[in-house]
Amino acid sequence: MLESSRVVVVGAGVAGMSAARSLAAAGARVTLVEKGGRLGGMAADYACKGTDRCNKCNVCLVHELLRDVKSRPDIGIMTGCTVDGVAVLSSGGYVLKVGGRERHEVECSAVVLATGFEPFHASERPELGYGVHPAVVTALDLEKALRDGRGLGEKFGRSIGRVAFVQCVGSRDLQRGRGYCSRVCCMYSLRMARAVRHRNPSAEVTVFHMDFQGAGKDPGDLRRRAETEDGVRFVRARPSEVALAPDGRVVVWFEDMDGGTCRPAEFDLVVLAVGTGPGRDTRTLADMFGLGLDEFGFFAPADPGDEATTGVPGVFVAGTCRGPRDIAESVADGERAALAVLREEAARRAGQRIALSLSAGTWPGRRVLRGQPETIEVSSTVLVLGGTVEGMEAARTLSDLGCRTVIVGEETRPDGDSGATYTLLARVDEDSSIDVLAGGCLVRLDGQAGGFRATIEGPGGLVSEIGAGALIVATGYRREFPEAARGLAGRACVVGLSELGESGVPWAVGEEHRKGGGGRRAVIWVGVRPDTARAIFRQAISAALSALAAGWEVYVLCPEVAVAGTGDEVLYLEARRQGAVFVKYEEEPEVQAGSALRVLVRDPCLGAGGAAASATTDVSGLLAIDADVLVVAEEAYPPPDASELARVLRVNTGPLGFFQDDNVNLLPVLTNRRGIFTIGGCRGATGVADAMVDAHVAAYLAARLVGTGNLHVDWATARVDPDKCALCLTCVRTCPHRAADVDDEVRAARISRAACWGCGVCASECPGKAISLESCSDDEILASVAPAVTAFCCDHSALIAAEATMAVLPTDEAAGLNIVAVPCTGKVDIIHLLKAFERGAEAVMVAGCFDEGCHFLSGNRRARLRVGQAASLLKAVGIEPERVRFYHIGPDMSAAFLEAVQETMQVARELGPVMRRRAG
Amino acid sequence: MIVAERKSLDEILAMLQGCSRVLVVGCGTCVTVCMAGGEKEVGVLASLLRLAAQREGRTVEIGEATIERQCEWEFVDELAPAIRRYDAVLSMGCGAGVQTIAQRFGGVRVLPALNTKFIGIPEKQGMWVEMCLGCGDCVLDRTGGICPIARCSKGLLNGPCGGSQGGKCEVSKDTDCAWQLIYDRLASLGRLDLLETEFAPKDWSKNRDGGPRKVLREEVML
Amino acid sequence: MKSRSNLERVLAAGHFALTGELGPPQSASAEVIRKKAEYYKGCVDAVNITDNQTAIVRMSSIASAAILVGLGLDPIMQMTCRDRNRIAMQSDVLGAYALGINNILCLTGDHQSFGNHPTSKNVYDLDSVQLIHMVRTMRDEKRFLSGDELKAEPRMFIGAAENPFADPFEYRVVRLAKKVAAGADFIQTQAVFDIPRFSRWMEMVRGRGLHERVYILAGVIPVKSARALEYMKNEVPGMSVPDELIRRMEAAGDPKEEGVKIAVETIQQLREIPGVAGIHLMPMMWEAIAPVVAERAGLLPRPAPLAAGLEPASGGPSEGA
């Protein structure tokens, strides 16, 4: 597309690298300007927090990005450079003055600012003792220590029996101008706590926090595991001081919930979860480019519907420089900024179709081997299932990118429906490249990415077939009272939060039931999952504010105050200032409905102030609120037909039944099948803003996949030898990406080159040895097996660690270690393991990703099963089973890899050669 | 399909005692599909035999071959050039395959590497279940398409015994009571009347009538 | 009369019948049988002799039954389909009758996996319905299963078992009807602990009019302990034991006495159910309790047996005829 254009991406952190990779793949010449001496930004220092299982920290995405960006010749990299000035060209482009060791002028048509964040300086809160007591560290210090791999005790010069995490240091702190939630720290600290416990199983972890802010995939699960598996204790308090104890430990002083008295607790290590603030350069760059900043100093979006745009043509923003977000969100943000660049370019070229192309990137499991290049003709039509707002937005975005779309399904309305929805509807109606098949239902899906054939049953049983290159699932979610409140649905004076609409409160409901005299009283009950809460809580606060404005007395009952959205903390504080009472309950409230509504809730914080005089309480803190209206925030559930649709689509669903694969390597909109995307409510994203991000990212990825009508495949894929195929369907069943099906003409299995991710799981499972992976055949793998300790290493995790390890391994040990790279441990066949021994190996190790963290979704699980099988087979022929071993190694865990290698070598040394000397 | 399972390595090693040149032969049909004796399993077993010998300091020659179907003369013939170089042939085919090779090559020791289990289906990946006993006299028309002979532990024809409880067989909680399945299915088909009439004693002559059963089709004979 | 069975005579005369159960020893000792038989003398109308029950090898039911004949008791020879094919079973029926055995109870038989020879091959050439049909054909049509003529027919009183507590519940009555149609003269049921479920089943039995075509003897087990009940509830397939019964046994000061009480109460309740023609007592290695239960349930004395009915078959009626 942008043959002549150059795009400059400023900042080589996660978002910047993601934008650069995406733009380069779309054909742009990209220059990546980084102030620091190396790529990766803050995240390059993060440590993988895998324990035995993947804890979904996303750090491996950073390593992937680093490798991709470094390996692309079409991305120019300038490290140690800053943008010092800018001049606008008459053509609409810019000339950037880039300073470093040398000065350059870079001409470009667009700039993406991805300058990242600046962590709060813990020393600004001297009472917490950072920099004074060695036992007080920041989370970033702990990251580096974890990465080091050595014992934490060694690192911090003491044993760490008791560890405290102090949350919200420099977040939700209005006094310091930081009246916002940093959004990522709660999950981040829990992952870190698990990692600490994994290394020091005797450690006791306490988290001092205000509220639990869930983000990412199934945050409730991480919290449950931290509590049940690691015994992490949560204390709802904001420590006021950290002091040195005589024995060298530190004392955390915190205000007890039930009395307002200050209590001490001793710890060996205190970890401060420092918040994220705007980067140091943000203001300078904002002035330079004429951009707006929000009240906290982050880049402010010009269009709330498309946050990558700035209102200044050719200038875009991505990542944490526009507010706190996690790694996955930053990757998505980078993609979205790239999309925004392309859309503007397309608009400039007035409808000229822009060529997009897919690189192997973007999909996980992507640093794949080179295959036989081939260009496949694909359908550039995209089928959107579900006429939700996000579905319509995706269709409209695709239309901008030159793709025809067909929307199947009735349109539904989003939360708080607004004029914007109707505008969107009208635009979809007008758009000639969008067809709408109202009332249709997908009953069958054949084919693969680039060439799906969807069978749609329309109204009256009319069946039609639609060919599509890609599918976007946008069927929304079902809103229902949460389980604890389900019995209240339909009762008088009880309304759902979503029924209130934008205007706020149908306070008339209370009107009839209003008691004589006294004020009117509303209870708003927000008892939803942490991930839902992020979107719902804001609506609840808005409702509270409008009720307060109408003179009502307001109680908000919730397990946690969820304020991770931009500006939410300010709204929350405003509601409190105006007199709304927030009760953070631990036991579900009880609603007694006689002639009037009475809500009973136990307030664990009672005494800390808050309860209004009009509610009666007893000594145990049980609050009885006689309410005129009870507003219940609805929980989001997958639609009833979600599991059936998932079956038809052959996509995985997550633990809650949404179209959201739990695997961390999948960006939220991706599924286990290439070419099928899930966006918005149906994947569990309940907020409109999140749904819009999804719509843009999915549309962009779909367009990159099939937008040109040609898909250039240059990555290695699995190939079937039809003569050997017994049609046993093993590949059809075991392919994690559903890329295998049956070729009816040849009467053999066929693996779609467009859909195959190249993991090799099918090749290793095939009982007829009819499948091979290009560039990684059995012969090639076996050729690299040598008589030494052999380590099969996953290209996405252990191999990266191994490369760093080999650099420091003593030569004699290195000589005895034979590393075999595989795209995924799923490619390691049982035969490879046995043959390694046949060829003289004394011990064999397989090293791959953490459980549930496989870049190909399930390859590592298969590999573990095979290692177990190999061990028992070896035992059956008299060979010690401990000679074959499996290790979980994160990409940055070179120390752990070294340990694993040494352990394996030790086994080899102790057991000696497999071959016994001839008797006699 | 025919479902089989590899014998234990102990048993295989014991039958190969004294053999130093062994040809492991796979079959590309049923046992490939049920993952017991396809090319992959041949590779695994051959490798294990070599390792077992290495372990004992013996030298062996283990050949590998997989043919389309061990139960067809034409395919078995492909083994002719090499077979006599070996002390023994270890067949990874079903019982029919082992016997076909043995019959074709007089004087060659042909040994079974598998236990042939049953005619069944892969109920799910990695789990195969018996469906048919090859009784020679199908009754599925009267039992809702569920075979009581293969799937009832006692092969009863006139309904479940007294051990059927909660849909499970008295023999194992992991086994569905075939008669409960039959009852439910006939109920859903509205054909419970089929269960009222008595099944006469089965004509087992169609199953075992002295020597191997034969199917003869004169019109297709040469 | 179809046979010279004492049980048939008692039932035909309209008496509420009582049968007992005797498990042969896992040895060649006739003495054990004689000893156990003593308990039943004068206290039941007929005694079931089990056939390698739970697939554990014991003295054969034919031989054991023949010993009982010698003692003047009326044996009910049990025959399962597990261990014999149709040839062996017909031959055994003929032999049994020749030894003076007048009752046969036709059963499917417990699966061999429960017993002490789990690796044996089962037969199940016939199932219990087919076995009933075969014996009836031998008796009434004087034909073997093959259709060949049979000169001196075995005049057996034919029994069958039914388990009202197994699944599918609705099918249980259909299966009973099949057995009746095949030729069952009497039915002995699985032990009843769950009276409501048994009553529901009996309702269905009466609904089909089966109680008028076959004598139904309800099974009763006197239990010694709560543990025994617990075991039956959890481990024996096709048993329904209400929890309150287990609690009652647990709470009892003298569990054996409580067990007898429960048995007696059960018998009394069963007697009230229309269509129940008698009780089949299964003391499960506690034969000594049979007279106690019979006494306390008011079932004694039993109608006196006909001496003629208990003569060895050499003087059998059909032979004489």
Instruction: Check residue A618 and give its pLDDT.
Output: 62
pLDDT for res A619: 58
Tens of pLDDT, residue by residue over A346-383, are 777 765 545 554 443 444 434 456 778 889 999 999 99
> Could you give the 3-state DSSP secondary structure of residue B221?
coil
Same domain, B110 and B8: yes
CB-nearest to C113 from B155, B171, B180 is B171
- The residue range of the domain holding B151 is 133-206
How far, in Å, CA of A135 to CA of A565, rounded?
Answer: 32
Q: In this predicted structure, what is the pLDDT of residue C319?
A: 37
| Distance from C-alpha of B129 to C-alpha of B1, rounded to nearest angstrom | 11
Asked if residue A68 has pLDDT above 90, the reply is no
Confidence of residue A724 (pLDDT cuts 50, 70, 90): very high
Do residues A345 and A690 make contact, with C-beta atoms less than 8 angstroms apart?
A: no
Inside any domain, residue B190: yes
Residues B56 and B86 in one domain: yes
**Which pLDDT score is estimated for A151?**
64
Using pLDDT thresholds of 50, 70 and 90, give the confidence band for residue C308: very low
| B16 and B88 inside one domain | yes
CB contact under 8 A, B162 and C111: no
User: Do B109 and B197 share a structural domain?
Assistant: no
Interior CA angle at A475 toward A470 and A480, to 5°? 160
Touching subunits of A (3+ CB pairs, under 8 Å) are B
| Residue B75: exposure state from Cβ atoms within 10 A (0-12, 13-18, ≥19) | middle
Please write the tens of the pLDDT for every residue from A623-670.
888 888 899 999 999 988 899 999 999 999 998 999 988 888 888 899
3-state DSSP assignment of residue A782: helix
Residue after which a domain boundary falls, among B117, B145, B164: B117
Contact with chain B for residue C128, Cβ under 8 A = yes
Q: How confident is the model at residue B78 (pLDDT cuts 50, 70, 90)?
A: very high
A40-66 pLDDT, tens digit each:
999 988 999 988 889 999 998 898 899
Is the same domain home to B20 and B83? yes
CA dist A301 and A502 (Å) reads: 22
How confident is the model over A564-593, as a mean pLDDT? 89
Q: What's the confidence (pLDDT) of residue A607? A: 45
Taking the C-alpha atoms of residue B67 and residue B49, their distance in angstroms, rounded to an integer, is: 20
* Share above pLDDT 90 across residues of chain A, in percent, rounded to a whole number: 52
B96 and B156 inside one domain? no
Contact B167 C167 (CB under 8 A): yes
Which of A396-405, A423-432, A833-842, B11-20 has the least mean pLDDT?
A423-432
Higher pLDDT, B5 or A336: B5
| Structural domains counted in chain B | 2
Quick: pLDDT tens for C15-35: 999 999 999 999 999 999 999
pLDDT higher than threshold 70 for residue B134:
yes
Model confidence at C313: pLDDT above 80: no
Q: Is B86 exposed, middle or buried (0-12, 13-18, 19+ CB in 10 A)?
A: buried
Residue among C109, C113, C129 minimizing CB distance to B158: C129
**H or E element in which residue C260 lies:** helix C255-272
**pLDDT range class, residue A609, cuts 50, 70, 90:** very low
Assess whether B113 and B149 both reside in one domain: no
Is the model's pLDDT at A86 over the cut of 90? yes
Better-scored residue on pLDDT, A614 or A446 = A446
What's the confidence (pLDDT) of residue A215? 82
Compare all CA atoms of chain A with the CA of B40 and give the residue at the minimum distance.
A767
pLDDT at position A420 is: 64
Question: Mean pLDDT, to the nearest integer, of C271-294?
Answer: 94
pLDDT, tens only, C39-52: 999 999 999 999 99
DSSP A249-294: -EEEEEE-TTT--EEEEEESEEEEEEPEEE-TTHHHHHHHHT--B-
- Residue A248: pLDDT band with limits 50, 70, 90: confident
Using beta carbons and an 8 Å cutoff, which residues of B are at the interface with A?
8-10, 13, 28-29, 32-35, 38-41, 43-44, 47-52, 54-58, 66, 125
Q: What is the pLDDT of residue C70?
A: 95
Contacts with A296 (C-beta within 8 Å, 6 or more apart), sequence order: A177, A178, A179, A180, A277, A278
Mean pLDDT of B182-194: 96
* A835 contact B CB<8A: yes
Question: For A659-684, what is each residue's pLDDT tens digit?
Answer: 988 888 888 899 999 999 999 999 98
Q: In whole numbers, what is the pLDDT of chain C averaged over residues?
A: 92
Same domain, B143 and B111: no
Q: Does residue B216 fall inside a structural domain?
A: no
With respect to residue B44, please indicate whether it lies within any of the assigned structural domains: yes
pLDDT at A810: 82
Q: Do B162 and C161 touch (CB under 8 A)?
A: yes
- Which of the residues A720, A725, A727, A728 would you substitute to probe the B interface, choosing the one with the greatest number of B C-beta atoms within 10 Å? A728
**Per-residue pLDDT at A229 exceeds 90:** yes
Asked whether residue B31 is assigned to any structural domain, the reply reads yes
Q: Is the pLDDT of residue A475 over 80?
A: yes
CATH code where residue B12 lies: 3.40.50
Provide, as residue numbers in chain B, all residues whose Cβ is less than 8 Å from the Cβ of C237.
Answer: 162-165, 170
Residue B106 domain-assigned? yes
pLDDT of residue A311: 84
On whether residue B32 sits in a domain, the answer given is yes
The two tokens of residue A597 are 């509504």
Q: Is A779 on the interface with B (CB under 8 A)?
A: no
Please report how the helices A14-25 and A59-71 are oriented relative to each other, as an axis angle in degrees rounded to 10. 40
Phi then psi dihedrals of residue B202, to 5 deg: -70, 145
Other Cβ atoms closer than 10 A to A641 = 14
A190-208: pLDDT as tens digits: 999 999 998 888 899 999 9
Q: Is the pLDDT of residue A29 over 60?
A: yes
Provide the H-helix boundaries in A713-821.
Answer: 730-734, 761-765, 778-783, 798-808, 811-815
Token code pair at residue A357: 């192309």
Domains in chain A, CATH or no CATH each = 6-116+279-348 (3.50.50.60), 119-276 (3.50.50.60), 370-428+444-475+638-708 (3.50.50.60), 479-498+507-636 (3.50.50.60), 716-772 (3.30.70.20), 778-911 (3.40.50.960)
Contact call for residues A495 and A629 (beta carbons, < 8 A): yes
Window from A303-317, A735-749, A808-822, C239-253 with minimum mean pLDDT:
A303-317
Work out the mean pLDDT of chain A and round it to a whole number.
87
DSSP state of A132: T
What is the structure's pLDDT at C318? 42
- Whether the CB-CB separation of A466 and A406 falls below 8 Å is answered with yes
Q: What whole-number percentage of chain C has pLDDT above 90?
A: 90
> Residue A125: is its pLDDT beyond 80?
yes
Checking if the pLDDT of C172 tops 80, the result is yes
Q: What is the mean pLDDT of residues A713-729?
A: 92
| Pairing outcome for strands A789-794 and A843-848 | parallel
Residue boundaries of the structural domains of chain C: 6-312
What are φ and ψ of residue A82, in 5° steps? -125, 160
Q: Is B39's CB within 8 Å of A724's CB?
A: yes
The CA distances from residue B92 to A538, A623, B39, C85, in Å, are: 66, 74, 10, 35
- Cβ–Cβ gap C108/B154 under 8 Å: yes
- Per-residue model confidence as pLDDT tens digits over A852-887: 889 999 999 999 999 999 999 999 999 999 999 999
Tokens standing for residue A269:
């290590």
Phi/psi-derived region of residue A80, left when phi > 0, alpha when psi is between -120 and 50, beta in every other case: left
Q: For A782-827, write each residue's pLDDT tens digit.
A: 888 777 899 999 988 999 899 888 888 888 888 888 899 999 999 9
* Closest-CA residue to A341 (of A710, A85, A27): A27
Report residue A620's pLDDT band, with 50, 70 and 90 as the boundaries.
low
CA angle centred on A901, ends A897 and A905, rounded to 5°: 170
Please report the pLDDT score of residue A616 as a whole number.
Answer: 65
**ipTM field:** 0.92
- CATH class of the structural domain C6-312: alpha beta
- Does the structure show a pLDDT above 50 at C312? no
C122 vs B: CB within 8 A: yes
pLDDT tens digits for range C59-114 = 999 999 999 999 999 999 999 999 999 999 999 999 999 999 999 999 999 999 99
Same domain (yes/no): B155, B199 = yes
pLDDT band at residue B111 using 50, 70 and 90 as cut-offs: very high
Asked if the C-beta of B205 comes within 8 angstroms of chain C's C-beta atoms, the answer is no
Whether C15 contacts chain B with CB within 8 A: no
Position B76 in a domain? yes
- Identify whether residues B113 and B139 lie together within a single domain: no
Residue A914: per-residue pLDDT = 87
| Confidence (pLDDT) at A502 | 52
- Does B156 lie in the same domain as B57? no
Gap between the Cα atoms of A332 and A342, Å rounded: 15
